[in-house]
Amino acid sequence: MKIALIQMNSGSDKGANIAAARTLIEQAVREEKPDWICLPEVFDFMGGSRVQKFAAAEELPGGPAWTMLRDMAKTHGVFIHGGSILEAIAGDERIGNTTIAFNRAGEEIARYRKIHMFDITAPNGQQYNESATMKPGDAIVTYDCEGLTIGCSICYDLRFPDLFQALAEKGAHVIALPAAFTLHTGKDHWEVLLRARAIETQTYVCAAGQTGLHMHGDEQRATYGHSMAIDPWGHVIARASDGAGYVAARIDRARIEKVRAMIPVAQHKVLFT
């Protein structure tokens, strides 16, 4: 299976973000002919105010970001793992940070809401309080991609190996990680964590990131980018440069089976109570 990871520099202009995503999907399809495409976290809207975020959120199914993903999947006959978009949740004061996946026919086949909320203070002193706006999910989600099981995670989920182990136990061969990792945490932790999760679960970990600067209210914030694919042995098999664009790689089912046969950690696991 050939994959493409889309890297974006989204901002608070939703229409421009959707148009940029469409252009990058079409470029990847034209140049690489992938079977599966992954976009970054909140590709439809980054930054802005609380009011703007809620205005940009979509009731699912439907809305311009959801519709673009569906149409691209159907038009080009590809699986699209829609990074994440802002989801309006009826009757709730928060919104969802939600992945939507579509098959080659443009049918929605999975929906995952980010579980772990990014409530931290970065090394530069910037504070992130995702739970003030976002409602966490509680479901572990996988879906079938023509014989390969894809596991769903988003950004800060990367720091919680139990989720990745749960995805592996549900049969994941590939774990997708759309992200908007901060520059300050990304430069020290991004690659290390991605490789660790791939080695631990003996899966391909495919991470599509936001890159560059965006405004969060009056505050300028920076995301790390460096979208990459990691194989089950922990090797980086594709890595994006700076700026918007994409990278492509191949997923080899035999590679997964070989690694799991060499070091059968799933059989050796001891459960502690």
The single residue of 38, 145, 152, 155 carrying the catalytic annotation is: 155
The single residue of 41, 87, 145, 206 carrying the catalytic annotation is: 41
Q: Say which DSSP state 232 is in.
A: T
The single residue of 14, 38, 58, 114 carrying the catalytic annotation is: 114
Structure tokens, 134? 């976002």
Distance of CA 254 to CAs 36, 80, 241, 260, Å?
18, 23, 28, 10
Neighbours of 271 (CB within 10 A): 4
Distance of CA 52 to CAs 11, 13, 45, 133, Å?
11, 10, 9, 11
Of 41, 81, 86, 61, the C-alpha closest to 172 is 81
Distance of CA 233 to CAs 53, 198, 199, Å?
39, 7, 6
Q: Is 41 a catalytic residue?
A: yes
Sequence-ordered list of residues with C-beta below 8 angstroms from that of 168, at least 6 positions apart, any chain: 151, 175, 201, 202, 203, 266
Residues in the chain, total: 273
Q: Is 145 a catalytic residue?
A: no
Q: Is 38 a catalytic residue?
A: no
Quote the CA–CA distance of 87 and 59 in Å, as a whole number: 6
Quote the CA–CA distance of 139 and 249 in Å, as a whole number: 28
Residues with a known catalytic role? 41, 114, 155
